[in-house]
C-alpha cells in the first residue's frame, strides 16, 4: 500500500514534479482537480501519474496531509494562545471555518470527500481530537452549553466544508454557521458579539 521510493532518478524527479503540480492544482480548485491536467503540467503522461500514485487518493495522500496538518497546527496554536476555554474553542472554530471559506481543498479534506485517502483522513482525525479537548474544557468551565457536544462542533465544521464547496456559492452561509456557534455558550459568561 505504501508507495515505494523509485529506484531511478528520472522517476524520482517525475514523482516530484507530479507532487508539485498536484499540490498547486488541488489548492487552486480542490481535490477533484483533473489528473490529466496535473500530468500535463508535470510534463508527463497520465499513465506515469498512475504508476507512481496508483489512484487519485494516493496522490492526495502524497501531498495534502502535510499542508492540512500545517494549516490546522497554525489554527490550533492561535486558539491555544487564548485566555479562556470559550475563547479557545471559539477561535479554533472561527479560524478553521475561515480556512474552509478560502480553500476548496481544505473543505474536501475536512469533509472527507475522498475517504480512501487514509493518511489525509488521519490528519483530519487529529483535528477532531483537538475539538474534543477544547469542548471538554469549555464544558468544565461552564461556558459551553451541555447540550452542545463535541460532535455538534464537528458537524458544524463539516457543514462549513460542505458550504465552502457548494456551487454556486451563497455568501450568507457564514453568518448562519457563526450564529449556530454563538448559540452554544451559556448565559453565564456571555458577551454575545453582535452579528
Partner DNA sequence: AATTAAATTGAGGCTGTCTCAAATTAAGCT
Partner DNA sequence: AGCTTAATTTGAGACAGCCTCAATTTAATT
Contact partners, residue 94, CB within 8 Å, separation at least 6: 178, 181
Which of 28, 170, 188, 190 contacts a copy of itself by CB under 8 A? 170
Which of 121, 158, 186, 189 contacts a copy of itself by CB under 8 A? 158
For residues 113 and 172, the answer to whether their CB atoms sit within 8 Å is no
55 touching a copy of itself, by CB under 8 A: no
Least distance between DNA and beta carbon 117 (Å):
12
Q: Which triple of cell numbers denotes residue 89?
A: 474553542
- The binding track of 118-157 with respect to a copy of itself, each residue x by CB under 8 A or -, is -----------------------------xx--xx-xxx-
Q: Compute the distance between CA of residue 173 and CA of residue 169 in angstroms, rounded to an integer.
A: 9
Which positions touch DNA (CB under 7 A)?
6-11, 14-15, 32, 34-37, 44-48, 50-52, 54-56
Contact partners, residue 20, CB within 8 Å, separation at least 6: 42
Least distance between a copy of itself and beta carbon 23 (Å):
24
Q: Compute the distance between CA of residue 26 and CA of residue 140 in angstroms, rounded to an integer.
A: 39
Which one, 6 or 189, has the nearer CB to DNA?
6
Which of 29, 73, 84, 183 contacts a copy of itself by CB under 8 A? 183
Least distance between a copy of itself and beta carbon 179 (Å):
5
Which of 55, 128, 176, 189 contacts a copy of itself by CB under 8 A? 176
Considering CB distances under 5 to 8 angstroms, the limit depending on partner class, which of a copy of itself, DNA, none binds residue 166?
a copy of itself
Contact partners, residue 90, CB within 8 Å, separation at least 6: 82, 181
Q: Of residues 106-125, which lie at the interface with a copy of itself (CB under 8 A)?
A: 111-113, 115
Interacting residues with a copy of itself (CB under 8 A): 111-113, 115, 147-148, 151-152, 154-156, 158-159, 161-163, 165-168, 170, 172-173, 175-177, 179-180, 182-184, 194-195
Amino acid at each position: 500500500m505504501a508507495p515505494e521510493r523509485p529506484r531511478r532518478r528520472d522517476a524520482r524527479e517525475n514523482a516530484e514534479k507530479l507532487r508539485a503540480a498536484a499540490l498547486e492544482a488541488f489548492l487552486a480548485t480542490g481535490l477533484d482537480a483533473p489528473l490529466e491536467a496535473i500530468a500535463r503540467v508535470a510534463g508527463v503522461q497520465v499513465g506515469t501519474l498512475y504508476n507512481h500514485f496508483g489512484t487519485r487518493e494516493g496522490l492526495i495522500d502524497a501531498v495534502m496531509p502535510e499542508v492540512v496538518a500545517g494549516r490546522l497546527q497554525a489554527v490550533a496554536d492561535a486558539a491555544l494562545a487564548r485566555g479562556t476555554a470559550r475563547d479557545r474553542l471559539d477561535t479554533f472554530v472561527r479560524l478553521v471555518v475561515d480556512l474552509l471559506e478560502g480553500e476548496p481543498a481544505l473543505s474536501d479534506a475536512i469533509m472527507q470527500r475522498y475517504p480512501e485517502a487514509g493518511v489525509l483522513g488521519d490528519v483530519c482525525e487529529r483535528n477532531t481530537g483537538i475539538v474534543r479537548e477544547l469542548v471538554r474544557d469549555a464544558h468544565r468551565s461552564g461556558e459551553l452549553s451541555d447540550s452542545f457536544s463535541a460532535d455538534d462542533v464537528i458537524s458544524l465544521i463539516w457543514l462549513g466544508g460542505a458550504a465552502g464547496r457548494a456551487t454556486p456559492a451563497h455568501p450568507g452561509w457564514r453568518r448562519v454557521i457563526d450564529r449556530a456557534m454563538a448559540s452554544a455558550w451559556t448565559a453565564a459568561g456571555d458577551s454575545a458579539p453582535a452579528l
